[in-house]
Amino acid sequence: AAAGHVGHSVPSGFAKAAGPAVKPATTPFTVPMPLAPELRPVRSTAAFDRYELSVKQADVEILPGQKTPMWTYGGGFLGPVIRARSGRATQVAFRNELPLATNVHLHGSHVDAANDGYPMELIEPGQTRTYTYPNTQQGALLWYHAHSHGTDPEHVYRGQHGFYIVEDPAEAALNLPCGAFDVPIMLRDALFDASNNLVFGGNPADRNVALVNGKPQPYFQVAARKYRFRIVNTATERVFRLSLAGAKIVQIGTDGGLLPAPVEKAELKFSSGERVDVVVDFSQVPFGTGIVLTDATFGPMLRFDVVRRAADTSRVPARLRRLEVLPPATVTREVAIGTDFSQGGPIPVGTINGRPFDHDRIDMTVKRGSTELWNISNADGAYGFTHNFHIHLVQFQVVSRNGGPPAPEDAGLKDTILLPPGDVVQAKVHFTDYLGKYVYHCHFLEHAAIGMMGQMEIVD
């Protein structure tokens, strides 16, 4: 019989032992929402910008006045923003100062296989690995995170998550809110013990604190004008459903960049790994008041306080970016994500097309240059398990969901697609330049860790 959840990961033992979970007593809207620092290049040449970042243990203030040991990029809760420009390469040298092996994957990146952070290729303690990202893709919020097979749920949960923004001139020319009015936000969950340690393991659904840029229920002081918020869900296993009373949410982009046209959304629904890019206009919110961003599970998450006036020449044009028309698909594939309880034991096996991940096996061979149609299904409808599906290297264009038109959250370029129990999503994907081996998996990281992952090899 199915347990109440799929994912279950055993802690590595390298973190401070945590006591029983408690619900921290915090007062809503008493701390400001922190902003992620920007990483400065250590060197810029005609061809690339080079960055250096340490992966290290640090005591981070999450709960007011308390320290929580974390595994961080650069020492803070939020991995710093690496700002790249479309068409210009970046090199990022990650130095592993943790006592255990790790690696880094740039989620949403279009990159050659050697720089993709393959789950079996690790950076040993004390070693540095430089990844080169070509940024030959349109503007988008990407994010970097640990991707070591079997152990990444704990690494990401303990803090290995950071922002990576690709900017491009076509996007800049649209005059969307920018600079201080373009704010990256990271949402995730956490569970604490009485000494403010993170509790890892067990059912991720039990994590009872939502964190917005690393704080529970912060406030954010805004001017009475338009803001762009680029939001990433870095929880290892969670769906957020956000709504905002008092102002409209206009979605302008998704995982892979801008939508063809802006859409007004009553609710933003997005799962682990997915991004939503939105504009909120605070000019109609009564001056001196606040409006609250609310999640369907956690309740109030973030209060926007309108505290000052500011000029606003930004706009949200009716057309943002044309979605590329892909050639007709020449290959159709079935990809079914599921859970196998037949082995017995407390932890099931995660599968794709009935098989758990095996790094020695190629699950599909894809011809470079081809366009394919993938029927991606959640085969766990009977168990009621939610999954999602993330592919490396490329972005999907969703064609249909359950035989009908795509859901609003399916629009645009998607590298991670939410799959509620029993759902079937049909998506088109085009393989252009790179060859080699890439993984695809459920981005509920506890699920991928127990096998819900496969790999494709792109060949000539």
Q: Write out the residues near ligand C2O by the rule CB under 6 A.
A: 105, 107, 145, 147, 273, 390, 392, 439, 441, 443
Residues 376 to 405 in contact with Cu ion, rule: CB under 5 A? 387
Diameter of the chain by CA atoms?
63
- Whether residue 274 contacts residue 108, with contact meaning beta carbons closer than 8 Å, is answered with no
Residue 273 binds: one of ligand C2O, Cu ion, none (C-beta under 5 to 8 A by kind): ligand C2O
Q: How far apart are CB 448 and ligand C2O at their closest, in Å?
A: 7
- Pick 84 or 450: Cβ nearer Cu ion: 450
User: Binding of Cu ion at residue 442 (CB under 5 A)?
Assistant: yes
CA torsion, ordered 233, 235, 241, 245, to nearest 10 deg: -70
Give the residues across from 130 on adjacent strands: 93
Closest CA to 55 of 33, 73, 78: 73
Residue 387 binds: one of Cu ion, ligand C2O, none (C-beta under 5 to 8 A by kind): Cu ion
- Mark residues 242-271: x for contact with Cu ion by CB under 5 A, - for none: ------------------------------
Q: What is the 8-class DSSP label of residue 114?
A: G
Residue 110 binds: one of Cu ion, ligand C2O, none (C-beta under 5 to 8 A by kind): none
Determine the 3-state secondary structure of 171 from DSSP: helix
Q: How far apart are CB 386 and Cu ion at their closest, in Å?
A: 7
Among 31-39, 131-139, 158-166, 434-442, the segment contacting Cu ion (CB under 5 A): 434-442
Q: What distances in angstroms separate CA 268 from CA 34, 347, 407, 427, one per listed residue? A: 22, 32, 12, 21
- Pick 39 or 442: Cβ nearer Cu ion: 442
Residue 442 binds: one of ligand C2O, Cu ion, none (C-beta under 5 to 8 A by kind): Cu ion
- Pick 196 or 378: Cβ nearer Cu ion: 378
- Pick 118 or 444: Cβ nearer Cu ion: 444
**d(C-alpha 217, C-alpha 210), whole Å:** 7
Q: Which of 215, 228, 321, 447 binds Cu ion (CB under 5 A)?
A: 447
Residue 230 binds: one of Cu ion, ligand C2O, none (C-beta under 5 to 8 A by kind): none
Q: How far apart are CB 442 and Cu ion at their closest, in Å?
A: 3
Q: How far apart are CB 42 and ligand C2O at their closest, in Å?
A: 26
**d(C-alpha 216, C-alpha 219), whole Å:** 10
Which residue type sits at 210? A
Q: How far apart are CB 389 and Cu ion at their closest, in Å?
A: 8
Cβ count within 10 A of residue 435: 14
**CB-hemisphere CA count at 13 Å for 203?**
9
Residue 259 binds: one of Cu ion, ligand C2O, none (C-beta under 5 to 8 A by kind): none
- Pick 24 or 350: Cβ nearer ligand C2O: 350
| Token code pair at residue 336 | 């079914």
Closest CA to 388 of 48, 107, 15, 168: 107
User: Binding of Cu ion at residue 425 (CB under 5 A)?
Assistant: no
Q: How far apart are CB 227 and ligand C2O at their closest, in Å?
A: 26
Q: What distances in angstroms separate CA 388 from CA 185, 316, 415, 445, one per listed residue? A: 21, 30, 10, 10
**d(C-alpha 328, C-alpha 296), whole Å:** 39
- Pick 255 or 281: Cβ nearer ligand C2O: 255
Q: How far apart are CB 396 and Cu ion at their closest, in Å?
A: 17
Q: How far apart are CB 190 and Cu ion at their closest, in Å?
A: 20
Q: How far apart are CB 354 and Cu ion at their closest, in Å?
A: 15
Q: What distances in angstroms separate CA 153 from CA 106, 145, 225, 234, one per listed residue? A: 16, 10, 38, 11
**d(C-alpha 141, C-alpha 133), whole Å:** 14
Among 22-30, 197-205, 261-269, 447-455, the segment contacting Cu ion (CB under 5 A): 447-455
User: Binding of Cu ion at residue 441 (CB under 5 A)?
Assistant: no
- Pick 90 or 236: Cβ nearer Cu ion: 236
- Whether residue 186 contacts residue 214, with contact meaning beta carbons closer than 8 Å, is answered with yes
Q: What distances in angstroms separate CA 230 from CA 30, 370, 450, one per listed residue? A: 23, 31, 30
Q: How far apart are CB 152 and ligand C2O at their closest, in Å?
A: 8
- Pick 227 or 444: Cβ nearer Cu ion: 444
Tokens 């990146």 correspond to 109
Positions that interact with Cu ion (CB under 5 A) = 387, 442, 444, 447
